[in-house]
Structure 1
Amino acid sequence: MPNSSTASPPSPARTARLALAAAGVTVVLWASAFVSIRSAGAAYSPGALALGRLLAGSLVLGAVLLVRREGLPPRAAWRGIAVSGLLWFGVYMVVLNWGEQEVDAGTAAMVVNIGPILIALLGAKVLGEALPPRLLAGMAVSFAGAVAVGLSMSAGSGGGHASVLGVLLCLLAAVAYAGGVVAQKPALAHGSALQVTTFGCLVGTVGCLPFAGQLVAEAGRAPLSATLNMVYLGVFPTALAFTTWAYALARTTAGRMGATTYAVPALVVLLAWVFLGELPGLLTLGGGALCLAGVAVSRSRPRTRAGVRSREVEQPAPAPVQD
């Protein structure tokens, strides 16, 4: 007689809904980081802000990992964890903070949003993922929207400013982001979302330890609001959002997940309107609408005849252990 206490695995439809919900949590929290970075970045240098954010994230993730008793990830996951930790949690956060001091926010948004395109290309080359027409079309629409939002933000800052160094730093951030995502995907076939995120965050923290002196010095004179915003960045847009990201990434392709992040510029526009009182112009609103429309297209699937499987349907990764 079968053991009735054994939980049956979730249906594919429920798994897809959970993954979509997790991706939604991620993009909302990443968009919310825009407001916090403005406050924290005014008091903390790029490396110190990255280290403080990662320390807060590591403490929260480590505590949750201990409570859940998940332990160390399998050996097969460590290569992806190390690479994604160095590139995404380490290099990306530092150079993006630095780059945004050298260019206006609009230029930074346009350059960094090359990242999802690089994720799709790297995913196809390294992971053998398909590039369905709807994904490519949706990303093209979303990127056009991101450019429109970026141009409107640049114009709103008095014409914007951009140094060659700043553009190069933002481009490096996009490359590090894409490389980190593609490296993380295989690790999720062996470790849980929590394990991969926790130890990736720890790797990034270790990589940023050279900025410890700056962090200590700047924390002593930073206003409380800036420090609280840095802690918020570590707890929510890092610890929680990177974990929900990993959960969703384990259940879809890197290309589709990258395309989903094009919803972030639209949400940033909304949050800046609500919390900062920055009334968006028509170009900004139009760009945000394009971003959301592109995400919808990239995640849609073509209708097929009954019993015929679409070639564009994403292939889920094997379920990660202890997840």
Structure 2
Amino acid sequence: MTSTTSQQGRHQGLGLWLALASAATFGSSGPFAKSLLVEGWSSGAIVLLRVSGATLVLAVPTVLALRGRWALVRAGAPGILAYGAVAVAGCQVAYFYAVQRLDVGVALLLEYLGVVLVVLVAWIRARRAPSGLTGLGVVLALLGLVLVLDLAGQSRPDLVGVAWGLVAATGLATFFILAAEESELPPVALAGLGMGAGAVILGLLGAAGVIPLHFGGGQVVLMGRHAPWWFAVGELALVAAAVAYLLGVTATRMLGATVASFVGLTEVLFAVVFAWLILGELPGLMQLGGGVCIVAGVAAVRVGELRRARETGATGLEEQTDFPLPAGVA
């Protein structure tokens, strides 16, 4: 029993490190995307190149992981398409539209209201209320959101940008819910195939004129210096997409959707730091206080889930997976 508990502890610890690494890599996307947006690129064009590049990066690992197991793709096709359409394409386009009108940190915090949706879906599907500490984490996260938006301050956020941020929140919740589902489909395959599906969907929508595709050129400004446009696109595709999504799916399967989604809130802090270093955007004291509340919310949820696991005697993913999704959803 002690050996099993120790093994579970190492499994959880590795999941936490992977979740933090995923949050850091995801957090780098906003500043690099904004450097392209100010040069005339459209959000759809940036996301299309980002997910297409990530698909190419993950193509070989995906094929290797699926050798002799292509039937898993057919069985998981609905989940893969939903992942690509909502969690990849929809979420990223909405977030970049929000970044056009809001500071990177504010846009990302709006997106992370999706974490609250994750908790609510877990409550409804499992027919049980979150633990007290999990509920406290939700309250602290919402308080942090209010502080970051500084609703009582002199400068009110752009309402259109806020609306796009809320659309992105729905996509984020979908990412955590689908990634947490127990499936024989390897994480790298879900990430790679989901990226491919997202790229195809974006390409079709762009060709039909539903999503504007405006590609720029020349240089972008990063850390006060000029850099070629392909450097920003390369970072978005390789680091902020391929690596970030792969780490995120792997961590979510280790930790479960609730814990992984709250650890993922640290992406906001990473994004604020990156926006400060790369773009010179620095939040005020009120917004920094909101960041502290969000970190406290992450800690509260983490402790609450561990306490519930001890009380119920659950082991492994039996307790960690919060979403009994229908068969065929991967």
Q: Do these two structures clear the TM 0.5 threshold for a shared fold by scoring above it?
A: yes
1:321 matched residue in structure 2: none
Structure 1 length-normalised TM: 0.80
For residues 270 and 146 of structure 2, the distance between their equivalents in structure 1, rounded to whole angstroms, comes to: 15
Structure 2 length-normalised TM: 0.79
Q: Which runs of 5+ in 1 are unaligned?
A: 1-7, 319-323
**Tell me, what secondary structure is at the counterpart of 2:215?**
helix
Deviation at 1:93, TM superposition (A): 1.2
1:150 matched residue in structure 2: 149
Deviation at 1:171, TM superposition (A): 1.7
Structure 1 220/274 Cα, relative in aligned 2: closer, same or farther at 3 Å?
closer
- Please tell me whether residue 309 in structure 1 is matched to residue 310 in structure 2: yes
2:50 matched residue in structure 1: 53
Quick check: 1:73–1:190 contact (8 Å CA) kept in 2? Answer: no
Counterparts of residues 186-225 of structure 1 (less than 5 Å): 186=181, 188-209=182-203, 210-211=205-206, 218-220=215-217, 225=228
For residues 104 and 255 of structure 2, the distance between their equivalents in structure 1, rounded to whole angstroms, comes to: 30
Quick check: 1:52–1:230 contact (8 Å CA) kept in 2? Answer: yes
2:163 matched residue in structure 1: 168
Letter of the aligned partner of 1:46 in structure 2? S
For residues 290 and 216 of structure 1, the distance between their equivalents in structure 2, rounded to whole angstroms, comes to: 38
For residues 183 and 87 of structure 1, the distance between their equivalents in structure 2, rounded to whole angstroms, comes to: 10
Quick check: 1:266–1:287 contact (8 Å CA) kept in 2? Answer: no
Q: Which moved more, 1:195-204 or 1:125-134?
A: 125-134
1:3 matched residue in structure 2: none
Counterparts of residues 124-135 of structure 1 (less than 5 Å): 124-126=123-125, 131-135=130-134
Structure 1 111/272 Cα, relative in aligned 2: closer, same or farther at 3 Å?
closer
Letter of the aligned partner of 1:211 in structure 2? G
**Tell me, what secondary structure is at the counterpart of 2:311?**
coil
**Cα RMSD after superposing both structures:** 3.3
**Tell me, what secondary structure is at the counterpart of 2:310?**
coil
For residues 162 and 130 of structure 1, the distance between their equivalents in structure 2, rounded to whole angstroms, comes to: 34
Q: Which moved more, 1:60-69 or 1:238-247?
A: 60-69
2:328 matched residue in structure 1: none
Letter of the aligned partner of 1:255 in structure 2? T
For residues 278 and 102 of structure 1, the distance between their equivalents in structure 2, rounded to whole angstroms, comes to: 13
- Please tell me whether residue 266 in structure 1 is matched to residue 261 in structure 2: no
For residues 113 and 313 of structure 2, the distance between their equivalents in structure 1, rounded to whole angstroms, comes to: 23
Question: Which one of 249, 253, 256 corresponds to residue 252 of structure 2?
Answer: 249
2:231 matched residue in structure 1: 228
For residues 43 and 232 of structure 2, the distance between their equivalents in structure 1, rounded to whole angstroms, comes to: 14
Q: Which moved more, 1:267-276 or 1:198-207?
A: 267-276
Q: Which moved more, 1:79-88 or 1:48-57?
A: 79-88
* Aligned residues between the structures: 302
